[in-house]
Structure 1
């Protein structure tokens, strides 16, 4: 029986070790090159880019609210509709406002005529004073004649040429004349007081500028504006959202009926950590990507301003870190970023969309906070202006009519039937024709 061969088998050739070493060295070199490249990129560019994905699109949400109370008769726009500034979106029932305007017009006309009477009374009272003066002069002449009669008859009584009875009649006539003198003097004084009282109501003013007329005119303007405001126009151009108005609904002044959002005026509020704000300045360029479009669409923006406080400071229930246990939480500060209007036209955004923001902080020459007040209004609308001038024209027409002057017809509010200033077209009104 043969013995087993216990001779050890020789080890395989180690030809694969150099190849493995070369592969490891290559990978090490590759990762080193990648690390160096990224380090160079970070040092040259990345460290100057501050990023956050805690950013959202914001915009002006303009509430459409009526200026008067009324019942909704018509709604001319719905959610997602595009509307232009000045377009009538909601129409309220104008019946109550029209009746109030008719009453105010009638009151103004009556007041003008009453004030005209005050001015006319000045002449009447002046004439009355002249008449009282003449009456007093006549009575005093009678007193002088009666005194002469008594003076002539008194010496003749002793000689018997004149009887005592005749003297007594003369004395009585003198007493009557003196009483008439006192009454005429009192009447003259009363007439002068009446004129002074009437002058106190008219002195230093005219019929048009009299306080009573101005008060009644203010009521006409108020009623005119209320009638004009029964049509609720769009204050800005934009898209309708959150419509709550319903036909037949009784609404009060100031209650939101719908919102209008001008999407061409949106911006981005990016909430950066407090540790990221050290190098951030107003005017620095910003690159933005919307989740809605993805990375294929990139927006170019500018830092418009940094918030004056953290979000927690303005929350409904601010943190009170002086009580109980305390855990530090990194705070965030909102940074407003202005967008390019042309890019918004090409790729419109919606309020509330998520954005990824990267601020380029290479240039740090700008200011961290604004140091000059805004010179122009942030937002304004001319859509509520104009009715005041129409109301003034209506008032002037009514005043001129009741002063007996001829004036041209007063123009009606634009877009309204001839009943704009009256109860109905068949009823003559001051706003339609002025005689």
Structure 2
């Protein structure tokens, strides 16, 4: 009896354990099903409308400053990390040589202006000579006509008539010669004023070139930003194109996010983006928009692009760069630095944007007017030199003489 009771108890215990395992198994299936449904609903309601990557970095303009003329560095106004304003002087080259060249060009222009003034005066002189010769021809023609009538009546000899004819021919030859000289000199100044004469314009171009060379000994910041990569040293003789330092405008930074090609199907220009930087963590969120989608993968533009024509080819998911334009709301309080790591999340709800820009930009993306004043100042200098050595200067001198 005892063995039978024990067997019954063991069977009952095994039955209970089997039922528990079935309950646990069913519960596990229900949990997995619920998790699967949760993942499905999450994907359908939220997940499929967002794409994110942490393969994203801050990028921006690195404005490299290089001299346009050679010279010796005599002054450096800034160092790495300093903030500079647009148009601020950063490096000064020795201006001695350029000053001498500018003074020589100014003197040459002044000399040329006075020479060209002589050409205009010559034309006026030859015009007066032509008028004088015309009067002499008219006088000789009248004398010859009078003597011709007298010779017909026998009042004068044929020799006197021949002398009158020779005098007329000589007067006509002198008039022709004067007209030729007038035409030759007039050709040098026709359809020009003093400032537009070719010789003066050539001399003015030399002044402008010398002035620009002198101005370029002062190297200015083309944009406001922070100094980086300073390599220039005092006393160094630099050549055009040598890297001196760089200006980094941190208010113009953007994000270059590298998305997998499988993530780009629904990505469009203009979609909203949220950016978190590793520097500040998820407490600070930057907002922006998709500005452009890459036109090629990073490997395609690398120095040694991949060659997949071999038998050892393995398919690798490629990444394409996506540029994110940041809004300026948090950049002032929490500035980013070039090269920082970020996490980017793109909202895919808006599908109205294009995959590629439909047209070229209407205005330049970046420009500076720091150098515009150089040409204007050179033109003012040339204008003043022409004025000081032109007819106006002569008129002023005559006025001063008359006063005394």
Shorter-chain TM-score range: 0.7 to 0.9
Q: Find the structure with the greater CA-based Rg.
A: 1
Hey, what's the Cα distance between the residues in 2 that align with 1:256 and 1:27?
70
Hey, what's the Cα distance between the residues in 2 that align with 1:130 and 1:283?
79
Matched, 1:93 2:56: no
22 and 299 in structure 1: CA distance in 2 versus 1, 3 angstrom threshold = farther
Matched, 1:107 2:108: yes
The structural deviation recorded for 1:188 is 2.7
Hey, what's the Cα distance between the residues in 1 that align with 2:316 and 2:280?
33
Partner of 1:84: 85
Hey, what's the Cα distance between the residues in 1 that align with 2:136 and 2:44?
113
Hey, what's the Cα distance between the residues in 2 that align with 1:296 and 1:102?
62
Hey, what's the Cα distance between the residues in 2 that align with 1:211 and 1:139?
41
Partner of 2:179: 192
Task: Please state whether the residue corresponding to 2:91 is helix, strand or coil.
Answer: strand
Picking from 199, 202, 208, the partner of 1:221 is: 208
Contact 2:147/2:164 (8 A) holds in 1: no
Partner of 1:337: 324
Query: Mean alpha-carbon deviation: is it higher for 173-182 or for 78-87?
Result: 173-182
Hey, what's the Cα distance between the residues in 2 that align with 1:38 and 1:76?
60
Matched, 1:306 2:293: yes
Query: Mean alpha-carbon deviation: is it higher for 82-91 or for 336-345?
Result: 336-345
Matches within 5 A, 1:120-139: 120-135=121-136
Task: Please state whether the residue corresponding to 2:330 is helix, strand or coil.
Answer: helix
77 and 184 in structure 1: CA distance in 2 versus 1, 3 angstrom threshold = same
Aligned residue pairs total 386
Contact 1:143/1:181 (8 A) holds in 2: no
Matches within 5 A, 1:285-304: 285-304=272-291
Contact 2:276/2:285 (8 A) holds in 1: yes
Q: Pairwise CA RMSD of aligned residues?
A: 3.5
Partner of 1:40: 41
Contact 1:143/1:174 (8 A) holds in 2: no
Task: Please state whether the residue corresponding to 1:343 is helix, strand or coil.
Answer: coil
Hey, what's the Cα distance between the residues in 2 that align with 1:137 and 1:37?
118
Matched, 1:317 2:304: yes
The structural deviation recorded for 1:74 is 0.7
Partner of 1:390: 377
Q: Deviations over 1:117-150 (max 9, x none)?
A: 1111122112223444455566674898699789
Hey, what's the Cα distance between the residues in 1 that align with 2:334 and 2:165?
104
Q: Deviations over 1:218-257 (max 9, x none)?
A: 2222222222222111111111111122212222333332
Query: Mean alpha-carbon deviation: is it higher for 81-90 or for 324-333?
Result: 324-333
Partner of 2:402: none
Task: Please state whether the residue corresponding to 1:244 is helix, strand or coil.
Answer: coil
Matched, 1:283 2:270: yes
Partner of 2:343: 356
The structural deviation recorded for 1:87 is 0.8
TM-score normalised by the chain length of structure 1: 0.77
Hey, what's the Cα distance between the residues in 2 that align with 1:256 and 1:338?
28
TM-score normalised by the chain length of structure 2: 0.82
Task: Please state whether the residue corresponding to 1:72 is helix, strand or coil.
Answer: strand
Contact 1:85/1:383 (8 A) holds in 2: yes
The structural deviation recorded for 1:10 is 6.3
Q: Deviations over 1:68-98 (max 9, x none)?
A: 3222111111111111111111111111221
Gaps of 5+ in 2: 395-404
Hey, what's the Cα distance between the residues in 2 that align with 1:17 and 1:68?
93
Matched, 1:373 2:360: yes
Query: Mean alpha-carbon deviation: is it higher for 201-210 or for 36-45?
Result: 36-45
116 and 406 in structure 1: CA distance in 2 versus 1, 3 angstrom threshold = closer
Partner of 1:248: 235
Hey, what's the Cα distance between the residues in 2 that align with 1:53 and 1:193?
85
Task: Please state whether the residue corresponding to 1:295 is helix, strand or coil.
Answer: strand
The structural deviation recorded for 1:45 is 1.7
Partner of 2:68: 67
Q: Deviations over 1:91-119 (max 9, x none)?
A: 11111221111111111111111111111
The structural deviation recorded for 1:19 is 12
Hey, what's the Cα distance between the residues in 2 that align with 1:382 and 1:139?
69
Query: Mean alpha-carbon deviation: is it higher for 346-355 or for 24-33?
Result: 24-33
30 and 196 in structure 1: CA distance in 2 versus 1, 3 angstrom threshold = same
Hey, what's the Cα distance between the residues in 2 that align with 1:194 and 1:85?
58
Contact 1:143/1:178 (8 A) holds in 2: no
Picking from 315, 320, 324, the partner of 1:328 is: 315
Hey, what's the Cα distance between the residues in 1 that align with 2:138 and 2:346?
101
Task: Please state whether the residue corresponding to 2:176 is helix, strand or coil.
Answer: helix
Contact 1:139/1:181 (8 A) holds in 2: yes
